[in-house]
Amino acid sequence: MSRIREVPASESRGHAALSPTLLAWLDAEPLVMGTVLEVGTGTGRLALALAPRARRVLAIDTDAGALVEARRRARRAGLGNVLFVVADAERADYRALGRPDVVAAHLCMSDLIVLRAAAGLPLGGVLAFAAFHVDQWRETGRTSRFAYDTDRARAVLEAAGFRIEGLEVEREVTRFESSEEAQAFAAPFRAKWETDGRWAEWERFLAEGGRTLTESRLVARARRQGQG
Ligand SMILES: C[S@@+](CC[C@H](N)C(=O)[O-])C[C@H]1O[C@@H](n2cnc3c(N)ncnc32)[C@H](O)[C@@H]1O
């Protein structure tokens, strides 16, 4: 299933919003009974959104600086049941980290993380994530090596022993009135796009009359099955 939202620049949510589908799916889980492990938490926005409804949230990231900010935000929000730990989600032993019942991720996903989650969750445990979809920023001519399409996500999850309960694409296409409006909108990404070669492709797209920018996420919910 695909949800497509077409908006003018003034209404674009872009990177600013957590995936509504992921939040709704996690809402349906009995988090109050168990431990959520969030991988790639950054400054903790998903962990902080889940903490009020969960017994315990453990959130990891390789970026120690981002976790300093995450801890500050947790303190400010008065949340005592969320712990931020520096760890590599592709290498860590999730069971040893904290026996999670749910592994969640927002814009941090890879095949190795799926395998780690499969090894670390109990039977019936849930992996729920929003990943970049292959159409993310398609106008810049490059696909992130971490991006998934529906078929690849399905294959990777099933090969790791998950039963897929939901797979959706959330897409927001921002439409611009002019090339100048598009350039201004993308200005926050310029430094990054210049280093990875996207900016030149984006300028070419605009020069050829293109007036869109696509945000696209693959959202998945899967339950561990098979041998314990
Ligand atoms: C696009 S950001 C998303 C941050 C956050 N989940 C959010 O949506 O605001 C990706 C995050 O994943 C982290 N990350 C990347 N690879 C990682 C790994 N192997 N283990 C843990 N964190 C990782 C980065 O440091 C960064 O904070």
* pLDDT per residue as tens digits for the range 121-168: 999 999 999 999 999 999 999 888 889 999 999 999 999 999 999 999
Closest C-alpha to 85, from 20, 23, 35: 35
Mean residue pLDDT across the chain: 93
Q: Find the 110 Cα to ligand 1 centroid distance in Å.
A: 11
Q: Find the 23 Cα to ligand 1 centroid distance in Å.
A: 18
Q: Find the 217 Cα to ligand 1 centroid distance in Å.
A: 15
Give the residue-averaged pLDDT of 37-54. 97
Binning pLDDT at 50, 70 and 90, where does residue 227 land? Answer: low
Q: Is the CB of 44 under 6 A from ligand 1?
A: no
Predicted confidence (pLDDT) per residue in 94-118, tens digit: 999 999 999 999 999 999 999 999 9
The atom number, within ligand 1, closest to the CA of 105 reads 6
pLDDT, residue 228, reads 46
Q: Is the CB of 90 under 6 A from ligand 1?
A: yes
Which residue has the least CA distance to atom 1 on ligand 1? 107
pLDDT, residue 15, reads 64
Give the residue-averaged pLDDT of 202-206. 96
Q: Find the 180 Cα to ligand 1 centroid distance in Å.
A: 31
Q: Find the 60 Cα to ligand 1 centroid distance in Å.
A: 9
Q: The dihedral of CA 28, 125, 159, 149: what is its sign?
A: positive
Binning pLDDT at 50, 70 and 90, where does residue 1 land? Answer: low
Predicted confidence (pLDDT) per residue in 3-30, tens digit: 677 777 777 776 678 999 999 999 999 8
Which pTM does this prediction carry? 0.92
Predicted confidence (pLDDT) per residue in 57-95, tens digit: 999 999 999 999 999 999 999 999 999 999 999 999 999
**d(Cα 190, Cα 72) in Å, to the nearest integer?**
29
The atom number, within ligand 1, closest to the CA of 41 reads 6
